[in-house]
Amino acid sequence: MPEIHVLPKDISELIAAGEVIERPASVLKELTENAVDAGAKRITAEIKRGGVLYLRVTDDGCGIAPEQVRTAFLRHATSKIRQAEDLETIFTLGFRGEALASICAVSRMEILTRQQGAEYGTHFAMEGGEETAFEQSGCPEGTTVVVRDLFYNVPVRAGFLKKDTAEGNAAANIFQKLAISHPEISFRLIRENKTEFVTPGDGQLYSAVYAIFGRDFARDLLPVQYAEESQGGIRVEGYIMKPLYARPNRAHQLFFVNGRSVRSFTLINAIEDAYKTLIMTGKYPACVLTVTVSPRIVDVNMHPTKAEVRFSDEKRIYNAVYFAVLGALEQNHLIYEFRIPQPEQPAGQPPQPPQIRPQIVQPQRPQRDWFAPVAGTDDNTPAPLIPKEQPAPQMQSPVTQAPAVTDIPQPATMPQEMPAAAESSAPAPVHAAPQPAPVQPAPPVIPAALRAFPDLTAQPAPAPAPAPSSAASELPEKPEARNAALSAISREPIRVIGELFDNYVLAEAGEQFVMIDKHAAHERILFERFRTRECRDRQTLLTPVRVLLTADETSALREAEENLAGCGFTFDFSEAPVVQLTGVPLSCAELDLDQIAADLAANCLSQQAQPDLHLLDDMFHDLACKAAIRAGTHNTTEELQSLAVQVWENEQIRHCPHGRPVMFLLSKYQIEKQFKRIQD
């Protein structure tokens, strides 16, 4: 047997450092968290060559007393906790006491620190864990830590580092999350001698998000505000992205628990389940959410770098985030406006002429009452498109597109580092003629089937919107103000004026031009109709469907038996683990019942927040898609008017069940701008 011996101090410290310091981003995270815990109001970070060659963090916090500087670099030396009970009430970002010791073991490190009110500061330097300097020094109040030549004494670890750009991006990402989680602190990042971003430090989360991610990201956010009624309950605040502007990955899903940036599958599943019927497949919602909970129900000590947390009651956290996001999506007006981008032409090249495509004509199909009650699905497969012979089109001159739609700014005070927003004042129309009194259209004839749709046309009127201010601002309009403006728009009556390509309903409401995808809109209407219990008449099966389930699936199905009965499904558990499906809703009688029973058991096992609504969503998707009106089908003006009214007045009809948008708006101002009736 090999001899057992104690490792030398230098080797053991290198091993311990490897658990905390993986790359320059780890160094920046630990130093910045110490600055936050020191009560800093301004924190500046500077990195060169991705942070490997040079990394500096400067703050104006409380500083360190000269006699405690050496102690701060000892392993497990900390000012955050003193006894075991303190681990149950951790509010600081750092508490392990390993950061400074781990960093100095694998780098050349210097620290300049001075307490507030002290006459002199302290300069302390270490190299590979060995002290090289300790002296009085003149320096500003606060602390400055400089780290050079990271992993110079651990070439194996240095060989696993990525390119400087990738390491710099990782460090910047860490610093961004810290800046967002503490909007009351002004953060500045200097990268390769250039300032990358500066946050105002005004305590507003929206200001920090705008400063870091820019105007386009901040413009499409919706506010989230949720709090449990119980004493010491969970609070969820922040912003989520509108479903239409979802991202191709989860890179912009930012979660913060008690001011700490964390990774948590519980939080990820909660927000993605809330978006389930509003987002397209392969897309992920973006968010900036802060969750405030009692430190006694969250474990922040499970990961060496404190990047992951564990909750004592996962279900409670899930429900809080789920209902917070769902409430924000339902309360805010998910009305989208047309955005006309300005194409950029390369310098020295003439604009390219528009491409001409052959015109496609779809043959006429027999007319049917698409808005009749759905009793079943017939063959609604659209006929193939047949090209129609057309004479060669004449070449047109290039059309100059108008600049992009700009947001209406609101009054706010922001620092000079913020980029200036677009001009807020819109010029008056040239030679504007007096407008005649609007003619009220006659009320449309609504088919009986549409009038029978439950809870789709009777919606409470939204609260009046505050009058917009004319003051200029450097921030884009906040989501709260923009939603109020859209609320005012949605109160205008809508009138159908035509149809485009036998698929898009054209209408006007006030000074807004509205375009509605009738297939997507009707699909969502039917989907919501299927989800209501009034449309779930039960049919008893003559031959029950037998399904073999696991013990966990059977138990989950038993717990959800009451909810499933309300949805029209009944089961017999007398022969467990074989479960018999004895009754189904009429709308599901012709589907694959074996697969439905298995899916229901799997969904029950996953513990959905609202099983009475979400256990059947996938099945209702297919039913609604098959039964909805098809593109290319001709409808009467009365039918289109009835459809448009439902879409306009019901906040639930904003996306089809697959996540596609149902409606877009284009303002009168933008139309007149395109026709050059309004000059910039």
Residue 600 sits in a domain whose CATH number is: 3.30.1540.20
Q: What is the mean pLDDT of the chain?
A: 74
**Tens-place pLDDT, residues 209-228:** 999 998 888 888 999 988 87
Which of 332, 366, 383 is a domain's end point? 332
> What pLDDT, on the 0 to 100 scale, is given for residue 594?
82
Residue 77's pLDDT band, with cuts at 50, 70 and 90, is low
Which residues, 6 or more positions from 639, have their beta carbon under 8 angstroms from its beta carbon? 370, 371, 447
Domain end residue (candidates: 135, 162, 182): 182
15 and 136 in a common domain: yes
Predicted confidence (pLDDT) at residue 145 exceeds the cutoff of 90: yes
- Of residues 464 and 318, more confidence is placed in 318
- Within 8 A by CB and 6+ apart from 445, the residues are 638
- In this prediction, residue 113 carries a pLDDT of 94
CB neighbour class for 206 (10 Å; exposed up to 12, middle 13-18, buried from 19): buried
Residue 277 lies inside a defined structural domain of this protein = yes
Tokens of 137: 């020094």
623 in the same domain as 674: yes
Residue 521: pLDDT over 50? yes
Q: Which long-range contacts (CB under 8 A, 24 or more apart) does 170-176 make?
A: 170/23, 170/24, 170/25, 171/23, 171/24, 171/25, 171/28, 171/45, 171/47, 171/50, 171/51, 171/55, 172/47, 172/196, 173/25, 174/25, 174/28, 174/29, 174/32, 175/28, 175/32, 175/45, 176/212
Mapped onto helix, strand or coil, the DSSP state of residue 49 is helix
Residue 414 Cα distances to 181, 199, 320, 475, angstroms: 19, 10, 32, 7
Q: Tell me if 407 is assigned to some domain.
A: no
Sign of CA dihedral 535, 540, 542, 547: positive
Cis amide leading into 373 (omega within 30) = no
Query: Containing domain of residue 148, as a range?
Result: 9-182
CATH of the domain at 304: 3.30.230.10
Residue 457 Cα to chain centre, angstroms: 29
Report the pLDDT value the prediction gives residue 285, as an integer from 0 to 100: 92
Residues 560 and 640 in one domain: yes
Residue 189 in any domain: the answer is no
* pLDDT of 387: 41
Two tokens, residue 17: 């450092």
- Residue predicted with more confidence, 346 or 203: 203
Lowest mean pLDDT among 74-78, 362-366, 371-375, 485-489: 371-375
CA atoms within 13 A on the CB side of 599: 14
| pLDDT tops 80 at residue 680 | no
Tokens at 442, concatenated: 């006659």
Q: Can you give the pLDDT at residue 181?
A: 92
Q: Distance between CA 412 and CA 477 in Å, rounded? A: 9
Same domain, 531 and 610: yes
Residues 113 and 228 reside in one and the same domain: no
Q: According to the model, what pLDDT value does residue 12 have? A: 62
> Do 149 and 293 fall within a single domain?
no
Check whether residue 31 and residue 159 sit in a common domain.
yes
Helix axis angle for 593-605 and 551-559, nearest 10°, is: 80
Please state at what angle helix 617-627 crosses helix 593-605, rounded to 10 degrees: 140
Contact yes or no for 270/289 (Cβ under 8 A) = no
CATH of the domain at 52: 3.30.565.10
Q: Determine the pLDDT at residue 392.
A: 45
Would the pLDDT of 442 be above 60? no
Residue 573 covered by a domain = yes
Residue 210: inside a domain: no
Domain assignment of residue 465, yes or no? no
Average pLDDT of the residues in 325-343: 72
pLDDT score of 110:
94
Is 449 part of any domain? no
* Distance in angstroms (rounded) separating the CA atoms of residues 175 and 197: 10
- 544 phi, psi to nearest 5 deg: -60, 150
Say what the pLDDT of residue 237 is: 93
Residue 503 placed within a domain: yes
- Assess whether 158 and 253 both reside in one domain: no
**Residue 144 exposed, middle or buried by CB count within 10 Å (0-12, 13-18, 19+):** buried
Confidence of residue 474 (pLDDT cuts 50, 70, 90): low
Can you say how many angstroms the Cα of residue 131 is from the centroid of all Cα atoms in its chain?
A: 47
Most confident of 210-214, 399-403, 413-417: 210-214
Q: Within this chain, do residues 172 and 238 fall inside the same structural domain, yes or no?
A: no
> Are both 116 and 227 inside the same structural domain?
no
In the listed set 281, 313, 332, which residue is the last one of a domain according to the structure? 332
Confidence check: pLDDT of 348 > 70: no
pLDDT band per the 50, 70, 90 thresholds, residue 78:
low
The string of pLDDT tens digits covering residues 16-25 is 555 568 889 9
Q: Which helix (H) or strand (E) holds 567?
A: helix 561-567
49 and 142 belong to one structural domain? yes
pLDDT at 163 over 80: yes
Q: What pLDDT sits at residue 476?
A: 57
| Residue 634: predicted pLDDT | 83
Residue 313 CB neighbour total at 10 angstroms: 13
What token pair was written down for 142? 């606060």
Q: Which is more confident, 400 or 265?
A: 265
Question: Number of structural domains, the chain?
Answer: 3
Predicted pLDDT at 191: 93
Q: Are 45 and 178 in the same domain?
A: yes
Instruction: Work out the average pLDDT over 429-435.
Output: 44
Q: How many CA atoms lie within 13 A of 115 on its CB side?
A: 8
Specify the pLDDT at position 31: 92
